[in-house]
């Protein structure tokens, strides 16, 4: 097969995979701005999972018929990523992943809220489509419950704390009148609704109140009832059938590298020790020589670091984001065609979710990206504001994902697959936290401490996540390890540990990705010397599309070769 023919065959395969992905995961299609024939948001029936397994196997056989030798760099990346996607679907099924879906914090309750917050209604047609998607959610809840019970019959059990957290989240999201729920939000934001639009809004309000909220409340009762029978007192996902294989699969999925839990645990211990030395130096500069504990106590108790209200906190982050925006052109040669803003996380769920998180803009740019910050100001002290804003907003998640969406030359599955490439996306965002030093955004010792603490937090995750799931640490042991090394409140640390229990291996990706980003930057600087330019390097990393770390490394090597050739021609 000639190279040109291989390229066409691969492009066709990538397109068909995207169509398959949109059909099997309609929420992905909706967030990517794809208009499908049907209006479901989830396909979670057992038959759906079985069908995916079969189709992925068929596509793998077809992909094997396309030789990857002598492909150009982008085609080679697409080939390897298609392999990864298809093998991942089958491996997930092999370890019964479909029988142990995520319940917290990214259960179907939060996922549908995320979708609602990302949705804009412009006319009656989009209103009807959104309402139809809402109406499909109760059926998806029942399918998920059927999968959970099938797993329960096989001996799969969730930690009791995960079930409790999931129920608490559902209760928080369903509190209050229907018009105050996130699911009704798109109708609230639709300011130009005419008579027909208002009628659709009334239908949506009645559905949310009479059907959707009761469906979620019934789901909470199911989690506390049948699924809680025999719930685990410990936290490890490895305590059960295929548990260790399940965790290994998740480790490789989230880190995107071939690595064993033992190696990650050892790396985490080394990273924690390295960063502890930096923390000791900063404590000394702040007047707490040989007293890191005292410095942490000062940071966690002095009221100067806590905003007076959630509105004041949001305003502080908004002002900081504007300062960051001023720095962007000096470091980035390509900027997205979308804006972003800051909103407060509802107080009813703030205790159980991170202090901040990013909600990327829809791919059709019908709404801005949003940095969501805690409704509990103490969870977001001011010495953490700079790294949080850099990480969640620009140049972190919101800028990165927006640029990926705009990379029209890449296959759709690489433009819209960020959520499946955690090490790349989170590694970049963590790298951006340290880039703030070069941007001049860290002005005080306390802010520098906040930056190092945030990295220490990610290093600690390597130890704690593997400690819980591979070495059987108790909840108290995990909390104690974190409390001894971080300034976070006891409540925040408990929330973090419960998140690691509920989302095994996801937390491993951050520092793994961060270390790779720094390694690639150092390599680029050594290779290019004085010809190294922030703007060009950052564009090469950010516009790679959703990739694994090994594929990113190959693409940067190709970019360096082209940069050297370009400079040679100029000279």
pLDDT band at 571 (very low <50, low <70, confident <90, very high): low
In a 13 Å sphere around the CA of 52, the CA atoms on its Cβ side amount to: 26
What is the residue-averaged pLDDT of the chain?
95
Give the integer Cα–Cα distance in Å for 109 and 141: 9
Closest by alpha carbon to 400, among 287, 547, 507, 302? 547
Q: What is the mean pLDDT of residues 29-50?
A: 92
The per-residue pLDDT for 351 is 83
pLDDT one-digit tens code per residue, 455-465? 999 999 999 99
pLDDT greater than 80 at residue 2:
no
pLDDT band at 196 (very low <50, low <70, confident <90, very high): confident
pLDDT band at 502 (very low <50, low <70, confident <90, very high): very high
The per-residue pLDDT for 567 is 62
The token duo for 238 is: 């490895």
> Of 68-72, 340-344, 547-551, which gets the smallest average pLDDT?
68-72
pLDDT band at 191 (very low <50, low <70, confident <90, very high): confident
Residues 6+ apart with CB under 8 A from 400: 418, 425, 428, 429, 542
pLDDT greater than 80 at residue 466:
yes
pLDDT greater than 90 at residue 99:
yes
Q: What is the mean pLDDT of residues 364-388?
A: 95
Give the integer Cα–Cα distance in Å for 34 and 36: 6
Give the integer Cα–Cα distance in Å for 395 and 401: 10
The per-residue pLDDT for 334 is 95
Give the integer Cα–Cα distance in Å for 497 and 482: 9
pLDDT band at 354 (very low <50, low <70, confident <90, very high): confident
pLDDT over 90, % of the chain: 91
The per-residue pLDDT for 370 is 97
End-to-end CA distance of the chain: 38
What does the domain layout of the chain look like in residue ranges? 3-237, 247-513
Q: Where are the alpha helices (DSSP H) in 332-420?
A: 347-350, 385-392, 397-405, 412-415
pLDDT band at 322 (very low <50, low <70, confident <90, very high): very high
Q: What is the mean pLDDT of residues 185-200?
A: 88
pLDDT band at 70 (very low <50, low <70, confident <90, very high): confident
Q: What is the mean pLDDT of residues 245-268?
A: 98
Report CA torsion sign: 344, 349, 354, 360. Answer: negative
pLDDT greater than 80 at residue 445:
yes
Q: How many CB atoms lie within 10 A of CB 277?
A: 9
pLDDT greater than 90 at residue 37:
no
The per-residue pLDDT for 569 is 63
pLDDT one-digit tens code per residue, 131-172? 999 999 999 999 999 999 999 999 999 999 999 999 999 999
Q: Which neighbouring-strand residues pair with 372?
A: 343, 357
The per-residue pLDDT for 566 is 67
- Tell me, what DSSP letter sits at residue 210? I
pLDDT band at 444 (very low <50, low <70, confident <90, very high): very high
pLDDT greater than 90 at residue 35:
no
Closest by alpha carbon to 500, among 477, 466, 454? 466
**Residue tagged 């050739």 (tokens):** 565
399 neighbors 393 (Cβ within 8 angstroms): yes
β-pairing, 356-359 vs 369-373, is: antiparallel
CA distances from 526 to 512, 519, 538, 543 (A): 21, 11, 16, 22
């Amino acid at each position: 097969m000639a190279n040109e023919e291989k390229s066409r065959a691969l492009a066709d395969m990538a397109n068909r995979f995207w169509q398959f992905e949109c059909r099997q995961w309609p929420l992905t299609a909706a967030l990517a701005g794809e208009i499908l024939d049907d209006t479901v948001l989830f396909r979670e029936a057992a038959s759906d999972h079985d069908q995916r397994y079969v189709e992925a196997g068929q596509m793998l056989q077809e992909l094997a018929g396309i030789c990857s030798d002598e492909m150009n760099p982008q085609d080679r990346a697409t080939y390897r990523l298609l392999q990864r996607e298809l093998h991942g679907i089958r491996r997930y099924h092999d370890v019964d992943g479909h029988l142990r879906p995520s319940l917290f914090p990214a259960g179907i309750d939060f996922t549908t809220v995320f979708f609602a917050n990302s949705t804009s209604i412009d006319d009656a047609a989009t209103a009807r489509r959104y309402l139809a998607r809402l109406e499909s959610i109760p059926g998806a809840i029942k399918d998920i419950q059927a999968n959970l019970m099938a797993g329960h019959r096989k001996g799969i059990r969730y930690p009791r704390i995960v079930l409790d957290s999931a129920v608490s989240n559902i209760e928080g999201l369903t509190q209050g009148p229907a018009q105050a729920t996130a699911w009704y939000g798109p109708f609230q934001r639709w300011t130009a609704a005419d008579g027909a639009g208002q009628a659709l809004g009334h239908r949506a309000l009645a559905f949310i109140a009479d059907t959707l909220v009761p469906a979620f409340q019934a789901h909470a009762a199911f989690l506390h009832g049948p699924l809680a029978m025999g719930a685990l007192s410990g936290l490890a996902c490895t305590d059960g059938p295929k548990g260790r294989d399940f965790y290994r699969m998740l480790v490789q999925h989230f880190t995107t590298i071939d690595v064993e839990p033992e190696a990650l645990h050892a790396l985490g211990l080394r990273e924690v020790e390295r960063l502890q030395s930096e923390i000791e130096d900063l404590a000394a500069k702040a007047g707490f020589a040989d007293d890191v504990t005292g410095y942490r106590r000062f940071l966690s108790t002095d009221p100067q670091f806590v905003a007076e209200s959630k509105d004041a906190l949001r305003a502080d982050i908004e002002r900081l984001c504007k300062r960051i925006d001023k720095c962007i052109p000096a470091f980035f040669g390509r900027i997205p065609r979308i804006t972003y803003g800051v909103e407060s996380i509802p107080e009813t769920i703030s205790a159980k979710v991170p202090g901040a998180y990013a909600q990327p803009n829809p791919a059709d740019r019908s709404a801005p990206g949003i940095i969501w910050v805690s409704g509990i100001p103490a969870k977001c002290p001011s010495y953490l504001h700079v790294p949080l804003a850099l990480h969640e907003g620009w140049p972190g998640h919101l800028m990165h994902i927006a640029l990926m969406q705009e990379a029209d030359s890449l296959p759709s599955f690489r433009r819209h697959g960020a959520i499946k490439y955690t090490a790349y996306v989170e590694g970049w965002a963590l790298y951006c936290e340290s880039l703030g030093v070069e941007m001049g955004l860290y002005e005080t010792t306390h802010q520098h401490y906040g930056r190092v603490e945030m990295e220490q937090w990610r290093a600690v995750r390597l130890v704690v996540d593997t400690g819980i799931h591979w070495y059987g640490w108790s909840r108290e042991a995990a909390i104690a390890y974190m409390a001894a090394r971080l300034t976070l409140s006891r409540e925040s640390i408990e929330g973090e540990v419960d998140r690691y229990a509920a989302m095994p291996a996801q937390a491993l990706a951050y520092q793994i990705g961060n270390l790779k980003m720094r390694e690639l930057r150092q390599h680029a600087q050594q290779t290019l010397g004085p010809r190294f330019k922030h703007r060009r390097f950052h564009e090469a990393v950010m516009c790679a599309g959703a990739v694994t770390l090994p594929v990113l490394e190959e693409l940067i090597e190709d970019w360096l070769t082209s940069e050297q050739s370009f400079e040679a021609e100029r000279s």
